[in-house]
Amino acid sequence: MPTIRDVAKRAGVGIATVSRVLNGSSQVRESTRQRVLDAIADLNYSPNQAARRLSSGKTFTIGVVSPFFTFPSFVERLTGIQDVLDESEYDLVLYSIRSTEQLQRRLRILIGENRVDGLIVLSLPFSERDLRTLKPDFPIVTVDNSPAWHYPSVVIDDVAGGALATRYLIEHGHRALGFVGDRTDSVFRFTSTERRLEGFRNALTEAGLEFRETWCWQGEHSQEAARQAAWRILQQPNRPSAIFAAMDTLAFGVLQAVREMGMRVPEDVAVIGFDDIAAAGYVNLTTVSQHLVESGRIAAQRMLDWLRSGEIERTPVQLPLKIVERATV
C-alpha cells in the first residue's frame, strides 16, 4: 500500500502538502494541488484510517447504542440514521445492549476510550451525571428518551399520542373503549406505554366516558400475550367496541384474537395501534404514526451539526404525531 510519503515523493512535494490537499486546506497553489492529485491517482493511494485517527484524535465514527433489536421500531429508527450518515464522512457502528448496567458500562468505555466521535442512544435511559463528569461535552443525542436530559433529543408526546388515538376512536362513534399495553419494561424501564395510557384516560374523561378496568390489560410485551388478553376482554358479555393497543405489535395480537373469535374488523371491533411500523402497512392497521424513520434522520442530522459546528443545540425536537387511517377503525 502506498503511503503519504510515496505520494509526496512522486508529486515532488512534502508530505504536509499532500496532507493539505487530502484535507481540503485551501492554502495550496492550484498547480501543486493538481500534481498531488495526479500522484494520488497514479498510485491509487488512499489514506490509512487508523493513522488519521491516531494523529487527529478523531474516529470518524458515530456509534448507535440501542436495545438489542427486540422491537421493530428500533430498526426503523436505525434506517433513518443510516440514511443520513451514509452521505457523511462518518461510519456507523452498532452497539446493542441487553441491560442497563451493560449500557452504562458500554457508554463509559465508548466515551472513555474515544472509540467514537459521537453517540446516538435509542430509547435507553442512562445516568447522565455519571457521563458528564467523565467527559462533560461528549456528543450524545438521544431518541425516545426522557426529555429532561441536557443532551439534544428527539422525542414525541406519548400522552398526547394516547389521547389522539382515543379521540379518533370516539369520533368514530365508539363509546366503550378498551386498552392493551405492556408493562413498564423490567429491564430498560421503557415507560411510553404508561404515558399513552395516561392519554387514553385523559381523553376518556374529557369525553365523559368511563374507564373500565375489565376492558384494559397490561402485561408481557408479546403478540401472543396481547392475543390472549384480547380474548379475555372481548369474551365479556359487555365488551368494548374498540381497542387501543399501545404498540402496533400488540395490536397484531388483538387483531388475531378478533378474527379467531369470528368477529369483523372494524364493524364488530375497531382496533388502533401506535408506532406505525412497516408491518402495520402490511396488515392495514390504523395507527398513530410517530415518524420512526424520521426520528433517526433527525437524530443523525443533529449529531452531524454538532460535530461539524462544535455547537450544541439542546432544545429537544418533538416530532408530530398523526393518525394513519387504514382499515381497522
Partner DNA sequence: CTGTTAGCGCGTTCAA
Partner DNA sequence: TTGAACGCGCTAACAG
Alpha-carbon distance of 81 to 64, in angstroms, equals 9
| DSSP 3-state percent helix, strand, coil across the chain (nearest 5) | 45, 15, 35
Residue 86 touches which of its own copies, DNA, none (Cβ within 5-8 Å per kind): its own copies
Interface with its own copies includes 53 (CB under 8 A)? yes
Residue 31 touches which of DNA, its own copies, none (Cβ within 5-8 Å per kind): DNA
AA letter at 229? A
Q: Of 67-75, 157-165, 177-185, 307-315, which segment contacts its own copies by CB under 8 A?
A: 67-75
Which member of 82, 88, 100, 202 binds its own copies (CB under 8 A)? 82
- Residues in region 202-261 near DNA by CB under 7 A: none
In the complex, minimum distance from the CB of residue 286 to its own copies, in angstroms, rounded to a whole number: 14
CA 171 and chain centroid, separation: 30
CB-based contact 115:109 (threshold 8 Å): yes
In the complex, minimum distance from the CB of residue 96 to its own copies, in angstroms, rounded to a whole number: 5
What phi-psi label fits residue 297: left (phi over 0), alpha (psi between -120 and 50 degrees) or beta? alpha
Q: Of 19-27, 130-138, 236-244, 279-287, which segment contacts DNA by CB under 7 A?
A: 19-27
What phi and psi, each to the nearest 5 degrees, are found at residue 230? Answer: -60, -40
> How far, in Å, are 33, 202, 306 from residue 188 at the CA level?
53, 26, 27
Which member of 44, 55, 133, 315 binds DNA (CB under 7 A)? 55
Which member of 14, 112, 281, 320 binds DNA (CB under 7 A)? 14
Alpha-carbon distance of 197 to 188, in angstroms, equals 19
Residue 33 touches which of DNA, its own copies, none (Cβ within 5-8 Å per kind): DNA
In the complex, minimum distance from the CB of residue 309 to DNA, in angstroms, rounded to a whole number: 16
Interface with its own copies includes 68 (CB under 8 A)? yes
Q: Report the run of H or E that residue 317 belongs to, with start and end.
A: strand 317-318
Q: Exposed, middle or buried, 100 (CB in 10 Å: 0-12/13-18/19+)?
A: middle
DSSP 264-298: -TTTT-EEEEEE--HHHHHTT--EEE--HHHHHHH
CB-based contact 74:122 (threshold 8 Å): yes
Interface with its own copies includes 96 (CB under 8 A)? yes
Interface with its own copies includes 133 (CB under 8 A)? no
Residue 261 touches which of DNA, its own copies, none (Cβ within 5-8 Å per kind): none
Q: Of 105-113, 137-145, 158-166, 310-318, which segment contacts its own copies by CB under 8 A?
A: 105-113
Cell 508530505 found at: 15
Which member of 19, 32, 114, 218 binds its own copies (CB under 8 A)? 114
Length of the chain: 329
Q: Of 6-14, 27-35, 48-56, 213-221, which segment contacts its own copies by CB under 8 A?
A: 48-56
Interface ranges with DNA (CB under 7 A): 1, 3-5, 12-17, 19-20, 22-23, 27-29, 31-33, 47-48, 51-52, 54-56
Interface ranges with its own copies (CB under 8 A): 1, 44, 46-51, 53-54, 57, 59, 61, 68-69, 72, 75, 79, 82-83, 86, 91-96, 109, 112-115, 223, 249, 252, 256, 278-279, 281-284
